[in-house]
Amino acid sequence: MARPLALSALLAALTANLAATAAAESPVEVREAERELAHRIEVVLPERDEPQSQFEAERIAEEAAARASAFLRSEGYYSSQVTPGADATPSAWIVVDAGPLFRFAAPKLDFEGAAPDLAVTAAAQNGLGAVRADAAARAADVLAAEAAALTALKEAGFADARVAKREVVVDHATNRATATFRFVTGERARLGAVRVAPERTIRPDLAQSMAPWTPGEQYTPDKLIQLRRNATSTGVFASASARLEETPNADGNRDVVLTLERLPPRTIELGVGYSSADGAGGDAEWTRRNASRRAETLTLGTTISEQQQSLRGELAYPHGGGIDRTVHYTVQAIREDAGPYDRDAVSAAWSIDAQPRRRFALSYGLSGSADFYSGAAGVENAYILSSFGDLRAETTDSRLDARKGHRLEGRVEPAVSFGDATVPFVRSTAEARIFETPDFAPRLTFAARAKGGWVTPIGGQGQNLPLDRLFYAGGGGSVRGYAYNTIFPEDVDRSTQPPGGRGLVEVSGEARARIGRQFGVAAFLDGGAAFNSLDQAADLKWGAGIGVRYDLGFAPLRFDIAAPLNPRPTDDSIAFYLSIGQAF
């Protein structure tokens, strides 16, 4: 005999099935069921105290029988019988006769109104794969298949597609369940202009430029999701939502309403850091957002530390160079005690920078600076015009605390230096970072980093290269245990030769273990060398240490203690570092 399985029964069965995700303990014994099935039934039985009377045992057994019966039906045992039992011991049990496992017949797909074309129908049919012929007739699979088919219709442009009447007929003569799915598709939607709510939040041309479509393109849900992401990635809005207008515009397209929730227009941020090798430092930034309704940010900042004092201003236009490409205008005045030399400079720069969320990105830009050096041999005055191209490929799961993936980056900077000497040169760097969290130890992450660099004068003398464009190693982001920029070639005449190296090699390895919800520990080994000839590249200075991490929610607070393994007379025996974010 065949009969329809009501939606309410399906939902009740699904509820019972979902309860299986949480293990429970029940005093009810499951009898006469195959061992694996009995265990699955035990998991879904409600947790109860041991009965204190036969009356309580009977009540608990009846409750367990109802739960087990719903679960068995949800798993495809539509002929199952579950009988409760109890005695005066008191103890409770259920006797399970599961009966045959029902299986699906081939599903049926119907459309109310005009049917979509064959390609869309095939896509919806593929979405019903969970209820393919001969699969176990699980109730959860019916709902999953229906959702998948509806998604396929929406992805084909039917924005208003909805579920109509669904019917599942269970035939006890053949032990088969036949599912019929019905959908109302409506008309295919084509996307129109972007309208912003509240009005005047951003300029209409900016809103339209963030849309990953041109008017007239077919609707897909992913395009609205991408629009929301493009809006929130500006850093100006706390949240964004997008919806289609119900009726088409004059062109037959359906406009999209982008609703934006603004962040505070002005913020002040403070940051501090300290290391015994590099000294203490602090940063302060004032930010003004969206003043001209172009989602721009104006940032004024200062850094005050033992090594550096600076004032800087930056104006950023998100998506100004295309989707996910931010245009930056930056000016800066800096005074720097870089270790082997002192530097005073003013600079201005323009760049188009790919946003960090892009997995494959190209950034480029131009800059000009006036640099004045003291405390070391080499040029004292340099006026530098430079450009750069930066290529990045990234699969990491987090920028500040990655646990899986890799980050590969290469940068080339053609430049020319005027002043005391005229030297065209090219400075290049490449860096790789790899992060791995093994499946067998999900709280342990291994991280590794390797970096190399080389600067080549195209004309002029190498000793006339600007001091800050040479390479140095040492410090919290380089080789921990050594002071900032104190690793450089030691075989040069410091009275006549600049201190930095033409080349750089850095390597780091770190094991990070998370303890509890917020704390972690780390052990690391760093190595680095700055050199003037390739035969010196293997002569690395090594530092090692341990650290503690505290999860702040957005990034870890890092405290590291490191010691130089190749100490020189001028090196401290130990150094410690306090900052936000992992070392790499």
Per-residue HEC secondary structure of 245-269 comes to CCCCCCCCCEEEEEEEEECCCEEEE
Cβ distance 376 to 341 under 8 Å? yes
For domain 103-184, the CATH class is: alpha beta
Quick: pLDDT tens for 77-112: 999 999 999 999 999 999 999 999 999 999 999 998
**H-state helical runs in 312-450:** none
Q: How confident is the model at residue 537, as a pLDDT?
A: 87
Q: Which of 477, 471, 526, 457 is nearest to 503 (CA)?
A: 471
Q: Mean pLDDT throughout 505-527? A: 96
Q: For residues 332 and 311, is the Cβ–Cβ distance under 8 A? A: yes
Q: What is the pLDDT of residue 356?
A: 83
pLDDT of the residue at 400: 85
Q: Please, is 198 exposed, middle or buried when counting C-beta atoms within 10 Å of its C-beta (0-12, 13-18, 19+)?
A: exposed
Per the omega criterion (within 30 degrees of 0), is the bond before 90 cis? yes
pLDDT at 5: 43
**Residue 8 or residue 162, greater confidence:** 162
Residue 24 has pLDDT above 90, yes or no: no
pLDDT, tens digit, 9 for 90 and up, residues 164-208 = 988 999 999 999 999 999 999 988 999 999 999 999 999 999 999
pTM confidence score: 0.78
Mean pLDDT (the chain) is 91
pLDDT tens readout for residues 348-375: 999 999 988 788 999 999 999 999 999 9
CA 325 to chain CA mean position, Å: 18
Q: Residue 581, by phi and psi: left (phi above 0), alpha (psi -120 to 50) or beta?
A: left
pLDDT class of 276 with cuts at 50, 70, 90: low
List, by residue range, all CATH 3.10.20.310 domains of the chain. 103-184, 191-262
Residue 134's pLDDT is: 95
Q: How far is CA 505 from the centre of its chain?
A: 29
For residue 116, give the amino acid letter: P
Task: Report the side by side order of strands in the sheet with 28-31.
Answer: 28-31, 91-97, 81-87
pLDDT digits 0-9 by tens, 115-124: 788 999 999 9
Looking at CATH, the fold of the domain delimited by 191-262 is given as Ubiquitin-like (UB roll) (3.10.20)
pLDDT surpasses 80 at 336: yes
Which of 41-66 are b and which e, b meaning 16 or more Cβ less than 10 Å from the residue's Cβ? bbbbbeebeebeeeebbbbbbbbbbb
CB atoms under 10 Å from CB of 518, counted, come to 13
Q: What is the CATH number of domain 266-580?
A: 2.40.160.50
Q: What confidence score (pLDDT) does residue 579 get?
A: 86
- Two tokens, residue 397: 């799961």
pLDDT for residue 279 is more than 80: no
User: Cα–Cα distance between 125 and 118 in angstroms, integer?
Assistant: 10
Query: Rounded mean pLDDT of 48-77?
Result: 95
- Give backbone dihedrals phi and psi of 55, rounded to 5 degrees, phi first: -60, -45
Q: Say what percent of the chain tops pLDDT 90.
A: 80
Residue 392 pLDDT > 80, yes or no?
yes
What is residue 136's predicted lDDT score, i.e. its pLDDT? Answer: 95
Pairing of strands 191-197, 254-262: parallel
Structure confidence by residue, pLDDT tens digits, 450-504: 999 999 999 888 889 999 999 999 998 899 999 989 999 988 887 788 999 999 9
Q: What is the mean pLDDT of residues 323-338?
A: 94
What per-residue confidence (pLDDT) applies to 278? 56
**CATH 2.40.160.50 in the chain, residue ranges:** 266-580
Q: What pLDDT was estimated at residue 277?
A: 53
The percentage of the chain sitting over the pLDDT mark of 70, rounded to a whole number, equals 95
